[in-house]
Amino acid sequence: MNIVDKVVDNIKIIIKGKDDTLYEILKGVIAGGHILIEDVPGVGKTSIAEALSKSFDVKYSRMQFTPDLLPTDILGVSI
């Protein structure tokens, strides 16, 4: 069993039925790229991101985008 399968098995404890999505996300992680997870509300996008961060032992934070969001809100400094 390789490391990718171990990570997927670990995440499958929390996320059910998203194996293809998990492998696609891990391809992006291994390639060192950015990952955008798009889907309808309520299908587990945030849960996948949280589970991945726990599997890799990295910091996870979530940004809720709203119409009044400013660059200062994201960067913490005025532009």
Instruction: For residue 7, tell me if it sits in a domain.
Output: yes
Residue 56: the pLDDT is 87
Range of the domain at 33: 3-67
* pLDDT, position 63: 81
Q: Give Rg (Cα) of the chain.
A: 15
**CA–CA gap between residue 69 and residue 77 (Å, rounded):** 13
Q: For the segment 20-62, what is each residue's pLDDT rounded down to a tens digit?
A: 898 999 899 899 988 888 889 998 899 999 998 988 888 988 8
Domain-embedded: residue 79: no
Q: With respect to residue 53, please indicate whether it lies within any of the assigned structural domains.
A: yes
Say yes or no to pLDDT of 79 above 70. Answer: no
- Identify the residue with better confidence: 76 or 41: 41
∠ CA 11-59-22, nearest 5°, is 25
Amino acid letter, residue 71: P
| 77 assigned to some structural domain | no
In terms of residues, how long is the chain?
A: 79
Report how many domains make up the chain: 1
